Amino acid sequence: MPLALSILDQSIAAAGRPQGQAIRDTIALARHCEALGYARFWVSEHHNHPTIVGSAPEILIAAIAATTTRIRVGSAGVMLPHYSPYKVAEQFRVLDAIAPGRIDIGLGRAPGSDGRTAFALNPLANERPDQFPSDVRDLLAWLAAEPLPENHPFRVVQAYPQGETVPEMWILGSSDFGARVAAHFGLPYSFAWFFTDGQGGQQALDIYRATYRPSPRHPEPKAGICVWALAADTEAEAQRHFSSRAKWRLFRDRGIYGPLEVPDEAAAHPFTEPERMRIEQMRRDAFVGTAPVVAGRIRELAARLDLQEMAIVTWAHDEAVRHRSYELLARELLPAPTAA
């Protein structure tokens, strides 16, 4: 069975450009990736983050869905503890009306922000994560116009507009918890490989498959991961553009955030010897290089983990570099798109 390939976009702020441009770039990238034949285009949710400025995926999904025709569009994810499951159900029922049968809803339990910001979003931020499984249950019912449990206080409440199609729900995670929730409800599961550098990924997937409870929509487990990758026409070009991401990660580990820098400026930073060693380790571990090399690593990892789906997230200061990277990987990994 061929590997389904998708995109995660995080609307990254780039030095020297307005932050709003990152949102417009995401919409343009979605159209580009649809033409290349990618299966899904997901957008992330972060708050109070000077680098990742996609703070309202439900709005961005609507814009993308309205300007595409085939590709599935969704969230990776909606950080459910911030919100009422009922309101999220209404939002995604509206999105499904805009693009029937093309909407995905990925759910996460993490805040996608710092603790103070989590409280700004929801004064009950300490309590809500513990209710994640029951919130998933309620959201599933409202999305599909199915009954809530007996004696549920909101059993008579419906989410509109209803229709013939239902958004496809995924559970997202970077630990065992999300894997167990996905398995319990018989839902697809995606592990944030790029976030943990793969740590805990195999274990989470094993738990998901071993404890999976079949559901009417998903009789079999459906697992995927998301990796960070960048392909270019030459190895040197790929490594040059990776410099922006490498410096950003180095500073992120110290709690320093900012827009993605021009690669030559990032590479010219006066790094200490330990910092240079850390960056070289990043280069060895990253899926960065020419398209055949990066595609080969993606195929190997997908085969080793027995995956049906994989998403790719790519950062680059130059938007044309991202477009080219996804184009090169599509040529290597996807069947040629058929003419309309």
Q: What is the pLDDT along the chain (340 residues), one digit of tens a residue?
A: 689 999 999 999 999 999 999 999 999 999 999 999 999 999 999 999 999 999 999 999 999 999 999 999 999 989 999 999 999 999 999 999 999 999 999 999 988 788 899 999 999 988 899 999 999 999 999 999 999 999 999 999 999 999 999 999 999 999 999 999 999 999 999 999 999 999 999 999 999 999 999 999 999 999 999 999 999 999 999 999 999 999 999 999 999 999 999 999 999 999 999 999 999 999 999 999 999 999 999 999 999 999 989 999 999 999 999 999 999 999 999 987 655 4
Q: What pLDDT is stored for residue 336 in this prediction?
A: 74
Who's near 94: CB < 8 A, 6+ residues apart?
62, 161
Q: What pLDDT is stored for residue 339 in this prediction?
A: 53
Asked whether 242 and 230 are in contact (CB, 8 A), the reply is yes
What phi and psi values does residue 107 have, to the nearest 5 degrees?
-115, 135
Q: What pLDDT is stored for residue 337 in this prediction?
A: 61
Residue at 72: amino acid letter? R
- The SS3 assignment for 17 reads coil
Q: What pLDDT is stored for residue 110 in this prediction?
A: 87
Q: What pLDDT is stored for residue 1 in this prediction?
A: 67
Instruction: Show the tokens assigned to 135.
Output: 């919130």
Q: Which residue has the tokens 């034949």?
A: 37
Cα–Cα separations (whole angstroms), residue 284 to 17, 239, 246, 298: 30, 11, 11, 15
Give the DSSP H or E segment for 257.
none
The yes/no answer on whether domain 4-234+290-333 falls in CATH 3.40.50.300 is no
User: What count of Cα atoms within 13 Å lies in the side-chain half-sphere of residue 135?
Assistant: 22
State pTM to two decimals: 0.96
Give the DSSP H or E segment for 304.
helix 291-305
Any idea what DSSP says for residue 228? E
Q: What pLDDT is stored for residue 338 in this prediction?
A: 59
24 vs 108: CA distance, rounded Å:
24
Q: What pLDDT is stored for residue 244 in this prediction?
A: 98
250 vs 254: CA distance, rounded Å:
7
Closest CA to 80 of 146, 171, 160, 168: 171
Asked whether 257 and 53 are in contact (CB, 8 A), the reply is no
Asked whether 140 and 188 are in contact (CB, 8 A), the reply is no
Q: Is the peptide bond before 161 cis (omega within 30 degrees of 0)?
A: yes
Closest CA to 311 of 204, 212, 241, 223: 223
Listed in order, strand segments (DSSP E) in 62-217 are 72-79, 103-108, 168-173, 189-191
Instruction: Show the tokens assigned to 214.
Output: 């079949």
251 vs 245: CA distance, rounded Å:
10
Closest CA to 289 of 214, 235, 331, 249: 235
